[in-house]
Amino acid sequence: MHPTHPRARRRRKDLPAGRRTAAVLTAVLTAAASLALAAPAQADPRGNAPEHAHDRAGWPERHDRHHRSLPDRVTGRRIEGHMANLATIARYNGGNRASGTPGYDVAALYVENQLERAGYEPYRDTYEYTAWEELSDAVLSRSGSGPVDYEVGTDYISMAYSAAGDVTAPAVAVDADSGDSGCTSEDFAGFPEGAIAITVRGACPFALKTQNAADAGAAAVLVVNSADEVFSGTVSTPSEIPVLGVSGAAGAPLLAAGEGLELRVMVDSLTETRESFNVIAETEGGSGDNVVVAGGHLDSVEEGAGANDNGSGVAFLLESAIQLARQGEPNNKVRFAFWGTEESGLVGSTEYVEGLSAEQVDDIALYLNFDMIGSHNYARFVLDGGMELPGSGQAPSGSGAIAQVFAEYFEDRGQVSEPGVLSGRSDYAPFAQAGIPVGGLFSGADGVKTEEQAEWYGGVAGETFDPYYHTAEDTLANVNRDSLDELSDAGAHGIEFFAESTLPVNGVLRRAAGPEFARLGQEWLR
């Protein structure tokens, strides 16, 4: 995890559960004065407002902003059109959109072109990062009695940013019956120095498990999946010791082996400094000191085109930006961010946030994250603003209010939603660490659907939410259209809601409260 931003946020308070924020806010906004004409404009690479604004010929006035809401405008058909174009770009550029590849570069050009056509002036926020490359296949084998040579890609895979090394040593399971396996230094009490640590995937980042193991003297780390399949993961920054992700099927016997287990772990990798970029665009209109940031990562894994992860989030954000522009000027500036190098450890979003001044951080009212909204075996997860982030403490005040806005939207449509775990595995993490309220939507990845969830959403119990996660089969054909439609409607509602007011999140009201608001305020308190 990245360090907490040194400047604390201004005080915010979550609203008590059960208050109907959407209804009150709608009434307040209906009584507000009509809005002036505005258009998106160029900002500097760290989000400063331009020195002057200018109108654009042909920019549509916002006469119908309440007649057609953003969820009505951001349709599944239009989102799928962007997803199909991203798939075509990946197909003709090596099969993926991984950072540093032609696929990523052309996908960024597509996003920029679409934003420019809508009237925005997107810019590239460049950064340097430490790239990791695997030079040859990793090795995992079991020696001693009953030797086994495991199959790379099926039974195990190297974690991105794993250190290189070749280790043969006894292997010891660490708190194997807990979802917090390896998450604290206490888990490694009495760990034999030089042994290989076997941990279980669960409630904390892989980087934290790995660092705790290294601090305890482990020579290598295995992280066993909670599902039978193998998985692709990252330790975010170069580790001190080799790290492999292991399938649940191959890992279960290792966890149960007890004393006498000996393994060989080999990773052949290197790291080097490279350059990449995020694509950023924002509305010219709206308050520049109360900015709503909506983002998702543009890159895919190298294994495939990433239609769901995260073509779905990119397509949704892009269409939301296009349609928001047609509504005219929002009360609060909305900044759309398409992050680079997320799959290598949230690099683009982290570099962006850490590059902001304290004043620029304070100008951001909240961050909304959209990473995978079309999972094949989906659920409706609302990022849980009331929980702690691993290694970061409680989510910033106001995060719970963001979650409530999304949850109420689903509830009003008779749709079940659930709190989604703030695992720290997506681009909301650096914003939360900087003290910015965070929220967003997620349709599920490698977690396993329960029987109850299958009743709520359909799909197959006992299977992962996205069986194609981080594989070459993450294609448009395997995206769930119901998931895409339902989560994009809710996502568009959230963007529109907070573009109008962030009052429930940070107490900021863009207009003075008159008699009508005072009356509504009394109703609010009942």
Whole-Å CA distances, 483 to 185, 417, 455: 39, 12, 15
382 residue type, one letter: V
Residue type, 383: L
Where do we find the tokens 């030089």? Answer: 194
CA 146 – CA 152 distance, rounded (Å): 19
Q: Which helix (H) or strand (E) holds 243?
A: strand 243-246
Helix axes 399-412, 21-30, angle to 10 degrees: 90
Half-sphere exposure (CA, 13 Å, Cβ side) for 266?
14
Helix, strand or coil for residue 125?
strand
| Helix H or strand E encompassing 232 | none
- First-to-final CA distance of the chain: 42
Q: Is residue 262 flagged as an active site residue?
A: no
Question: How far apart, in whole angstroms, are the C-alpha atoms of residue 351 and residue 8?
Answer: 18
Gyration radius from the chain CA atoms: 23
Rounded CA separation 200/466 (Å): 20
Tokens of 201: 């995937």
Active-site pick, 302, 319, 329, 342: 342
Structure tokens that stand for 296 in this block:
């998702």
Say if residues 484 and 79 touch (Cβ distance below 8 Å): yes
DSSP 33-62: PPPPP-------TT-PPPSS----TTPPP-
Catalytic residue annotation: 342
